[in-house]
Amino acid sequence: MPIPLCKPSPAKLSESAKYLREIEERAILSNFGPLSVSFEQNLVARMFGGEGECLTVCNATIGLMISIRQAIECRPKSRRRYALMPSFTFPAAAQAAVWNRLIPLYCDINPWDWSADKASERRLLDKYRDDIAVVVPYATFGYDIDIERYEKIQREYDIPVVIDAAASLGTVSEDGRGFGTGFSGSVVYSMHVTKAFSTAEGGLVYSADPELIRTLRSMSNFGFGEEHNVNLMGLNGKMSEVVALLANLRLEDIDGVTDRRSSIIDLYRKGLHRFSFQPRKSHSQAHQFTSTLLPKDMAPFREMIREEMRRRGVASATYFSPHVAELGYFRDEGALASMPVTRDIASRVLTLPLYDTMTDDEVREVISAVNAALSLVDKLGPRQPSLQRQEICR
């Protein structure tokens, strides 16, 4: 059987008839219903140590849009120009910035965990300080980035930060609490079906600041405040009760999901000695993908390696290559800094299969296909990729 890149396995609605009937009997299907509210409360208690508050949203992109909007409302209008972010990310962050009439300003990433590079960020913050409306760092592939650094940026530069933590729901930081705990700005998570914490569509915004969450709650409900009066710019970003049911069910088994995915990554690490991975930490990471880097000498032959893997029945991808600044729409919608590391990482990234139900034998099959592809390239010697492709395909 072919091995896919991912195989979604959220909680099964077919086994949740009792809860679905309860939703029908209550006749509350949206508008911050009891399942949505209970999920927010359960998540704060279980993942965030009882600190702060959460807001459920229909998807993470909407969560980014309203969080960025709330952030820029705190800045003088003359300074609303740029959203500082890495280009090595999913385009949702850049789209959310552009929807708020901001220009993405791309910084470089670091070569070890592939998140925004501290020095590159600082150079752009110093150069464009008065024109940056918001900073949008990305917790790359669910990695536990340093949130205290962004608290310092907020204090030092008086620029709000919205953390794009799309794949991080389930990641645990060094203090044993969920990634993002205690952050005073917004942290936005996705619960898309491809994530470790999967529902169908779905998102979450966390903040240690309850007032910020109350503002975002109004914004996600058309801007309605007290007495049904519209006091803020808003949209409809509410989560349905059916999705909230899926979220509550996933919360029950998320530790098992992240543990299994981490054990799969460990098998890949042991079997792919020539590849680079994000640094291993002692605490849990909510892996969305198996994100690896080819050796530098193999970068020109990535597509041939993928072709050989496909021939052996193994799917792959290249998240995030091209990176955002290379995508057609954003070539004209963004501002670039020097990004040599981004270019290097994007040229070598190779995404391997990962899903909750993946067996050890399937992992070994992927490893075998990858190593066979590398060996084939090795045997052909230092030729041009186009010539190697011809010989591989014979």
- What region, left, alpha or beta, does residue 33 occupy, with left being phi > 0 and alpha being psi -120 to 50 degrees? beta
The whole-number pLDDT of residue 147 equals 97
Domains in the chain, ordered, with CATH? 13-249 (3.40.640.10), 255-392 (3.90.1150.10)
Average pLDDT over residues 138-151: 97
CB 196 within 8 A of CB 220: no
Residue type, 347: S
The whole-number pLDDT of residue 36 equals 98
Query: Using 50, 70 and 90 to split pLDDT, how confident is the model at 391?
Result: very low
pLDDT at 1 over 70: yes
Query: Using 50, 70 and 90 to split pLDDT, how confident is the model at 339?
Result: very high
Query: Using 50, 70 and 90 to split pLDDT, how confident is the model at 106?
Result: very high
Query: Using 50, 70 and 90 to split pLDDT, how confident is the model at 12?
Result: very high
The whole-number pLDDT of residue 393 equals 44
Average pLDDT over residues 330-354: 91
**CA of 378: how far to CAs of 111, 235, 274, 308, 375, in Å?**
25, 54, 13, 13, 5
- What region, left, alpha or beta, does residue 102 occupy, with left being phi > 0 and alpha being psi -120 to 50 degrees? beta
Give Rg (Cα) of the chain: 22
The whole-number pLDDT of residue 219 equals 97
Spell out the alpha helix ranges (H) of 210-240. Answer: 210-219
Phi, psi (deg, nearest 5) at residue 310: -60, -40
From 133, 151, 138, select the one nearest 93 (Cα to Cα). 138
Query: Using 50, 70 and 90 to split pLDDT, how confident is the model at 338?
Result: confident
Taking the CA atoms of 176, 216, 125 and 165 in sequence, report the sign of the dihedral they define.
positive
The whole-number pLDDT of residue 385 equals 58
The whole-number pLDDT of residue 75 equals 73
Helix 302-311, helix 360-380: angle, nearest 10 = 130
The whole-number pLDDT of residue 331 equals 85
**Segment among 26-30, 40-44, 253-257, 334-338 with least mean pLDDT:** 334-338
pLDDT at 390 over 80: no
pLDDT at 388 over 80: no
**Segment among 52-61, 109-118, 205-214, 336-345 with least mean pLDDT:** 336-345
CA 293 – CA 148 distance, rounded (Å): 28
Close Cβ partners of 356 (under 8 Å, ≥ 6 residues apart): 7, 9, 257, 260, 261
**Segment among 141-150, 171-180, 287-296, 335-344 with least mean pLDDT:** 335-344
CB 203 within 8 A of CB 190: yes
The whole-number pLDDT of residue 387 equals 46
Average pLDDT over residues 230-242: 96
CB 33 within 8 A of CB 244: yes
**Segment among 22-26, 72-76, 80-84, 291-295 with least mean pLDDT:** 72-76
Tell me: the pLDDT tens digits for 42-97? 999 999 999 999 999 999 999 999 999 999 987 776 677 999 999 999 999 999 99
The whole-number pLDDT of residue 298 equals 95
Close Cβ partners of 241 (under 8 Å, ≥ 6 residues apart): 23, 28, 29, 30, 33, 34, 35, 36
Residue type, 325: A
From 51, 32, 27, 54, select the one nearest 41 (Cα to Cα). 54
CA 14 – CA 7 distance, rounded (Å): 18
pTM over 0.85: yes
Phi, psi (deg, nearest 5) at residue 184: -80, -20
The whole-number pLDDT of residue 392 equals 46
The whole-number pLDDT of residue 80 equals 79
**CA of 119: how far to CAs of 116, 241, 337, 339, in Å?**
9, 44, 12, 12
What's the mean pLDDT when you consider all of the chain? 94
The whole-number pLDDT of residue 19 equals 96
pLDDT at 14 over 50: yes
Phi, psi (deg, nearest 5) at residue 16: -125, 35
More confident residue, 392 or 373: 373
Average pLDDT over residues 344-352: 98
The whole-number pLDDT of residue 384 equals 57
CA 211 – CA 272 distance, rounded (Å): 47
